[in-house]
């Protein structure tokens, strides 16, 4: 059964610990740098489209004023001026129809690029197998259309924000209470940010993600983003980070803000992934007790004390190992068990070896190929399920380090077959 709240103090601590560990393991600082780079090139066309969508209802000037006001609160005057100058540059009228058409195309590509990079980062966090990351022109167009849909959604939320802000301002004048209006405005901002983050965490990854998996992570990210906005602004204001870069100072301020905001976003994504594994849709699934029985039997057969302890730890892990809900088909489950058995030393060879894992992966490939016949798509789907299920097992943290390394080897071997 899926759970949202409450979490015990111990469960909350373990969740945060695993979130930070996976954030480090996935090399989030480097992913954040890539996001910051793409965002700088995407931010002006993205905001222009958002302003255009909101401007249909409220007028372009009102929408632009709201966006610039929000940017000043986030980036300070220097960063907001840099973005405003970019907006003015991309919104200048074209000299000819051809130039206008090319401008629209460049605008769409530029605006959607950052979402493509977001999808890549979220795929890495959600351990999406390589063979599910389709390539080709159709896949590229589909990804760009999805990104454009996200931009339109953000534009719609900006319209909602403008309506609510106008309503709150009117209520503040009636009640003559600025504090109440400020509190309500902050709460509305938190709710809208939560919705935006939830949409991105749910829709962008090429993985099975449930809405119940993302809401808590989105709310935590929105809260961290609100707190981080103040801290990042304080750092930019006090450190004088822009003063040493002269004319490029505004761009540096923008880069610093986007980089640290990307770290908050990625930390929230890792939190969502860990929450889904512990309490969400990745928690409940078919269990494989036969693996534990075989491992316990191997542990009692004359191994050293240290080896017995490691194998017994893996046996206990196997008893509680829970696979991704709705993912495994019976034929895939057979080879997940066989590869994990080989990694724990419970297979026919009696010792965990890379050769045994490679043999099991090859057997799976031959079986899937025979089962699928000439249907390459079905063959790749089976291999991707196998890769994804093995990744869930390896990332569960319930196996010894040596076993996890061997399971990772199995995933790499399966991915090679998946690409062939």
Q: What is the pTM of this model?
A: 0.61
Q: What was the pLDDT predicted at 308? A: 42
CA-CA distance, 144 to 110, in Å (whole number)? 10
Q: What was the pLDDT predicted at 92? A: 62
Q: What was the pLDDT predicted at 270? A: 92
Q: What was the pLDDT predicted at 98? A: 62
The tens digit of pLDDT for each residue in 35-55 reads: 888 877 777 777 777 777 777
Percentage helix, strand, coil for the chain under 3-state DSSP, each rounded to 5: 80, 0, 20
Q: What was the pLDDT predicted at 414? A: 80
The tens digit of pLDDT for each residue in 115-139 reads: 788 888 888 888 776 655 555 566 6
Q: pLDDT 10s per residue in the chain (420 long)?
A: 444 455 678 888 888 898 998 898 888 888 888 888 887 777 777 777 777 777 776 677 777 776 777 666 666 666 666 677 766 666 665 555 665 566 667 667 766 777 788 888 888 888 776 655 555 566 666 666 766 666 666 665 656 665 666 565 666 656 655 666 677 777 877 888 898 889 889 988 877 788 888 999 999 998 988 887 777 767 766 666 656 666 566 777 778 888 888 898 899 999 998 888 888 777 653 333 333 333 333 333 333 434 444 444 444 444 334 344 344 567 777 788 888 888 877 655 556 667 788 888 888 877 777 777 777 777 777 778 888 888 877 776 677 777 788 888 788 878 777 766
């Amino acid at each position: 059964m899926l759970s949202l709240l409450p979490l015990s103090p111990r469960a909350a601590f373990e969740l945060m610990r695993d979130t930070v560990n996976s954030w480090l393991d996935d090399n989030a600082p480097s992913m954040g740098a890539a996001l910051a780079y793409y965002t700088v090139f995407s931010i002006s066309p993205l905001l222009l489209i958002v302003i255009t969508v909101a401007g249909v209802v409220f007028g372009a000037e009102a929408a632009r004023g709201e966006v610039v006001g929000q940017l000043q609160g986030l980036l300070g005057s220097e960063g907001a001026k840099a973005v405003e100058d970019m907006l003015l540059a991309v919104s200048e009228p074209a000299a000819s129809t051809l130039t206008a058409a090319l401008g629209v195309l460049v605008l769409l590509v530029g605006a959607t690029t950052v979402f493509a990079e977001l999808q890549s980062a979220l795929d890495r966090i959600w351990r999406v197998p390589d063979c599910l990351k389709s390539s080709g022109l159709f896949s590229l167009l589909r990804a760009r259309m999805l990104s454009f849909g996200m931009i339109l959604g953000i534009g719609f939320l900006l319209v909602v924000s403008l309506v609510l802000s106008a309503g709150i301002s009117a209520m503040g004048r009636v009640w003559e209470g600025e504090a109440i209006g400020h509190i309500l405005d902050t709460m509305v901002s938190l709710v809208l940010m939560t919705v935006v983050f939830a949409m991105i965490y749910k829709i962008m990854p090429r993985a099975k993600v449930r809405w119940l998996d993302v809401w808590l992570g989105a709310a935590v990210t929105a809260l961290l983003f609100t707190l981080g906005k103040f801290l990042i602004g304080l750092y930019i204001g006090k450190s004088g980070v822009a003063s040493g870069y002269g004319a490029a100072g505004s761009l540096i301020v923008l880069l610093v803000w986007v980089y640290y905001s990307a770290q908050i976003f990625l930390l929230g994504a890792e939190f969502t992934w860990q929450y889904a594994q512990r309490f969400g849709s990745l928690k409940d699934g078919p269990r494989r007790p036969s693996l534990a029985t075989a491992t316990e039997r191997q542990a009692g057969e004359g191994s050293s004390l240290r080896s017995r302890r490691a194998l017994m730890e893996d046996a206990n892990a196997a008893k509680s190992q829970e696979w991704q809900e709705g993912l495994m088909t019976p034929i895939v489950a057979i080879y997940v068990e066989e590869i994990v058995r080989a990694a724990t030393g419970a297979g026919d060879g009696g010792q965990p070896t890379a050769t045994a894992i490679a043999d099991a992966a090859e057997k799976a490939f031959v079986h899937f190929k025979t089962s699928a016949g000439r249907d390459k798509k079905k063959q790749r789907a089976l291999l991707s399920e196998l890769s994804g299920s093995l990744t869930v097992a390896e990332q569960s943290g319930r196996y010894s380090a040596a076993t996890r390394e061997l399971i990772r080897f199995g995933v790499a071997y399966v991915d090679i077959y998946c690409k062939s």
